[in-house]
Structure 1
Amino acid sequence: MAEPVYLRPTAFLDAPFGSLGKALRLAGSLTWFSAVELIERRGPARIVPVAEVDAELDGPGRAILARITAPRPPLVLGPRTVPLDTPQVMGILNVTPDSFSDAGAHHGDAAAAASAGIGMAAAGAAIIDVGGESTRPGARPIWEGDEAARVLPVIERLAGAGTAVSLDTRNAAVMAQGLKAGARLINDVSALTHDPRAAGIVADAGCPVVLMHHQGTPETMQDAPDYEDVLLDVYDWLAERIAAAEAAGIERSQIIVDPGIGFGKTLRHNLALMNGLALFHGLGCPLMLGASRKRMIGALDNEAPVGRRLGGSLALALAGAMQGAHLLRVHDVPETMQSIRVWRGMRDVALTL
């Protein structure tokens, strides 16, 4: 049996003018690509111009290319619709006492937490992602009752204010309660592997779900992460999780994928994923990137602490946007929105010249 071929869009363009037949639009985003890297696990990778790529592909390869170029439909989150033809920001709202990013600033005060979420929405975040269990490296699991008590009052307030709410949890009981409280999207860092009931909850709700790659558990994931080829291994793992979700009754159109920056990866792994991010469009699902304030930024900048990682967070967000990421999960919403608006303005001008 022939080795599978992976397709990574590359040679990106600001606009397709003058490139008829030589450039393709990337997953309905504001990025076009004029070449494809054909990758095999056991052979050398090759860069092929878009104009010649069809002749290089068999049926499965052409199916991957079709997924890469297909527009992603909007996310329908209750009364809110989030289009995916431009990068959208998901604001992070942790209500844990031990969040790595804010040391528990929103823990224990649902009204203040909801107010912070509403502020992020006012600044431009399309979705607010509420989490009540820390999954940072070394974190230990908590009782799902405590997790629910943290997130439900915040979700109810945000949903009541008309905000589109995502629930960041890996526990089925919390998912079920959060969806009743007004959450419209489930963001599961375990990709529905932690709780065997989770896939059924999501399927019954018919809501979108984020499947994030991880290796190990939060307690152990940074002990000794190891891959044969991190880019291809993460791609294959996510493909398997998509298939499992579909088998559980979740529509592929409701699945979002996240390569899981920092979850069971070294600095070298994270950089490889960022550089090869466009590969994941071959899965045919919207792509989410969560690199905000991650340790990789400190590792590249003299161990800068969490509070001094804004510049690196913006650099990674823009790198994601340039490779067609549909959702950017971030802590610093106003600053990220400004960077995306400037980037979008440059693209808009390129498209009108």
Structure 2
Amino acid sequence: MDSLAAAPGTGPATSPLRLVRSVRAPRRFEELPDGRTLVMGILNVTPDSFSDGGSFEETGAAVDAGLKMHYEGADIIDVGGESTRPDSVRVSPEEEQARILPVVRALVKAGVLVSVDTMNASTAEKAIAAGAVLINDVSGMDVDPQMPELIARTGVHYVLMHSRGAVRSRDPKASYESVVDEVISELSRIREGFYAAGVSPEQIIIDPGLGFSKDGEANWELLRSLDQLNGLGHRVLVGASRKRFLGTLLATEGRPVPPRERDDATTAVTALAAFSNAWCVRVHNVSPSAAAVKTTAAWKG
């Protein structure tokens, strides 16, 4: 973990672990800040994610990156061990767990609040045992049948994301007559299965699934309708960071800009989502979004 640079004023001998412990971190989900939109840092422990695949494949590098995002202002670090980029190949739950569990344990030990991005109930269960407080499930309408019972039994919080069809397809079933109404209806239907298993409404967080089975205009329409999504009665998570519809927005000569050149647009979405009362934004580049949510909170008073 020596690769993490010390913050100004800490001196070169300050370790990342001591650096993070100098910041008061919430130890439980209930201790997360209230009164502003939260920032979730994305930590992909995979070789093939669309934006940063391979950057944090080694455990030490992943832990360093998670601690750095935490120090930059991430309220939660979301650790994922399986890419969902278009045409990526599924990995076994065992491989997924081998990638993420050492990272989860190290971050939790350092006082970081950890979420785990997984579609597998077996991985979720082991991650919760390792200290994760939130399960971020992008499986959409194909939820692992064991997931509702696990969430009910453990009492952790759960992100229910909207998607149609295989999450790795480019735009499966991306045609909607009224995308906002249909997303709300389909999320409500999936939610009933969790209620039936004993999951409380307070445990569920809604994610409209930007970029998952949605084209660019559908994504913008959902972002313009965050008030209606909030009307479901749950916290709302917005995950627009570096996504293709932002690359298309910034296209030059008809070519979308690459993922790492989409951070300014991501920060703009963060500010607007915060102004529209999103509970949390999920981002690759934490520092600008952390500044944006604080600025928006001050603007709103």
Write out per-residue CA displacement over residues 129-185 of structure 1, whole angstroms, 9 at most, x where no aligned residue. Answer: 000011122223211110000000000000000100001001011011111111111
| TM-score normalised to structure 2 length | 0.86
Distance change (3 Å), C-alpha of 1:78 and 1:343: closer
Instruction: Say which of 125, 131, 153 aligns to 2:74.
Output: 125
Question: How far 1:94 sits from its partner (Å)?
Answer: 0.5
| TM-score normalised to structure 1 length | 0.74
Write out per-residue CA displacement over residues 99-141 of structure 1, whole angstroms, 9 at most, x where no aligned residue. Answer: 111132001x212211111111111111000000111222232
Q: Using the alignment, how far apart are the partners of 2:28 and 2:264 within structure 1?
A: 34
Question: How far 1:80 sits from its partner (Å)?
Answer: 6.1
Q: Is residue 80–residue 164 contact of structure 1 (8 Å, CA) maintained in 2? A: no
Which residue is equivalent to 1:339? Answer: 292
Give the alignment of 1:132-211 within 5 angstroms. 132-191=81-140, 193-211=142-160
Q: Using the alignment, how far apart are the partners of 1:267 and 1:84 within structure 2?
A: 31
For structure 2, list consecutive stretches of 5 or more residues without a partner in the other structure.
1-25
Which residue is equivalent to 2:53? Answer: 103
The alignment of Structure 1 onto Structure 2 pairs a total of residues equal to 272
Question: How far 1:329 sits from its partner (Å)?
Answer: 0.6
Question: How far 1:220 sits from its partner (Å)?
Answer: 2.6
Note if 1:312 corresponds to 2:272: no
Q: Using the alignment, how far apart are the partners of 1:261 and 1:138 within structure 2?
A: 17
Question: How far 1:297 sits from its partner (Å)?
Answer: 0.6
Which residue is equivalent to 1:218? Answer: 167
Q: Is residue 275–residue 300 contact of structure 2 (8 Å, CA) maintained in 1? A: no
Distance change (3 Å), C-alpha of 1:192 and 1:229: closer
Distance change (3 Å), C-alpha of 1:83 and 1:191: farther
Write out per-residue CA displacement over residues 241-300 of structure 1, whole angstroms, 9 at most, x where no aligned residue. Answer: 222111111111111000000000011111111111211111100011000100011111
Which residue is equivalent to 1:231? Answer: 180
SS of the residue 2:174 aligns to: coil
SS of the residue 1:287 aligns to: strand
Identity, in percent, stands at: 39
Distance change (3 Å), C-alpha of 1:255 and 1:84: farther
Q: Using the alignment, how far apart are the partners of 1:192 and 1:287 within structure 2?
A: 18
Q: Using the alignment, how far apart are the partners of 1:265 and 1:77 within structure 2?
A: 36
Q: Using the alignment, how far apart are the partners of 1:337 and 1:272 within structure 2?
A: 24
Q: Using the alignment, how far apart are the partners of 1:235 and 1:288 within structure 2?
A: 14
Q: Using the alignment, how far apart are the partners of 1:309 and 1:79 within structure 2?
A: 30
SS of the residue 1:220 aligns to: coil
Q: Using the alignment, how far apart are the partners of 1:192 and 1:201 within structure 2?
A: 17
Mean Cα deviation higher: 288-297 or 339-348: 339-348
Q: Is residue 137–residue 263 contact of structure 1 (8 Å, CA) maintained in 2? A: no
Which residue is equivalent to 2:282? Answer: 329
Mean Cα deviation higher: 185-194 or 199-208: 185-194
Note if 1:89 corresponds to 2:42: no
Which residue is equivalent to 1:114? Answer: 63
Mean Cα deviation higher: 288-297 or 130-139: 130-139
Q: Is residue 36–residue 293 contact of structure 2 (8 Å, CA) maintained in 1? A: no
The one-letter code matched in structure 2 to 1:317 is: T
The one-letter code matched in structure 2 to 1:265 is: K
SS of the residue 1:186 aligns to: strand
Q: Using the alignment, how far apart are the partners of 2:27 and 2:236 within structure 1?
A: 17
Question: How far 1:306 sits from its partner (Å)?
Answer: 0.6
RMSD over aligned CA atoms reads: 1.6
Write out per-residue CA displacement over residues 32-52 of structure 1, whole angstroms, 9 at most, x where no aligned residue. Answer: xxxxxxxxxxxxxxxxxxxxx
Give the alignment of 1:228-267 within 5 angstroms. 228-267=177-216
Which residue is equivalent to 2:225? Answer: 276
Q: Is residue 155–residue 183 contact of structure 1 (8 Å, CA) maintained in 2? A: yes
Question: How far 1:344 sits from its partner (Å)?
Answer: 2.3
The one-letter code matched in structure 1 to 2:289 is: T
Distance change (3 Å), C-alpha of 1:224 and 1:193: closer
Which residue is equivalent to 2:240? Answer: 291
